[in-house]
Structure 1
Amino acid sequence: MAPPTELFPSTQLPLRAQTSLTGTKRKGFNGDLKACEFLEMLQYSCEVSGGGGKTERSREQRVRCWPVERFFRRCHDQKGLFMVETTAWEGKEKRFKGP
């Protein structure tokens, strides 16, 4: 199981990105996430439905999937590259626009 993660508002992300995993301030990074390289990844969230709750797969079961787009910024400090997930921070203008 993953360790507990502290929740904070996405507006605090530029400030939080200035702190390394060890809790020290990153040297050579001023918190400007917009200056970092933008990356995106498309994942899918799927669920199996139908079949009357059987544990074995049957022809009545259907798998439905929905796209989940995630955004990241690849930044660098004096120690090298680090990644920050910015999905909530990037805002709705970059969200996946499906059919």
Structure 2
Amino acid sequence: MPPPVELFPANPSLPERATANLKGRRRKDFDGNLMKCELLELVQYECEVENPNDRRAMARCWPIVRLFRRCRDREGPFTVETTAWEGERSKE
């Protein structure tokens, strides 16, 4: 089972939070500028069966786009999900 994940608002705290590693220590050689990191996109799908009691029922699926930034520090690469943060930045 994965460890519990702490929830926090993406904007404006995401760049600041990205400067800490999983142990809570400050990352070496990473200044918190997520814009310097490679942008990655992952498309997942949420599907729903129209009539679950009918064996011939159709499933309808909707794409869910998630954005990530692949950054690097002294320890190597790490990934930060930026979906909400990228959306907030586009409103500015």
Q: What is the match of residue 58 of structure 1?
A: 55
1:16 aligns with 2:13: no
SS of 2:22 mapped into structure 1 = coil
Aligned-residue Cα RMSD (Å) equals: 1.6
Report the Cα offset of residue 79 of structure 1. Answer: 1.0
The within-5 A match list for 1:1-99 is: 1-11=1-11, 12-51=13-52, 54=53, 58-59=55-56, 61-91=57-87, 93=90
Report the Cα offset of residue 21 of structure 1. Answer: 0.8
Q: Which aligned runs of 4 or more in structure 1 are off by greater than 4 angstroms?
A: none
Report the Cα offset of residue 4 of structure 1. Answer: 2.7
Report the Cα offset of residue 48 of structure 1. Answer: 1.2
Amino acid at match of 1:58: R
How many residue pairs get aligned? The number is: 88
Range with bigger deviation, 11-20 or 42-51: 42-51
Q: Deviations over 1:8-65 (max 9, x none)?
A: 11111100100101111101001000010111111111111214xx3xx611x12010
Report the Cα offset of residue 3 of structure 1. Answer: 3.5
- Unpaired stretches in structure 2, ≥5 consecutive residues: none
Higher Cα Rg, which structure: 1
- Normalising by structure 1, we get a TM-score of 0.80
In the alignment, the residues of structure 2 paired with residue 68 and residue 28 of structure 1 have an alpha-carbon distance, to the nearest angstrom, of 33
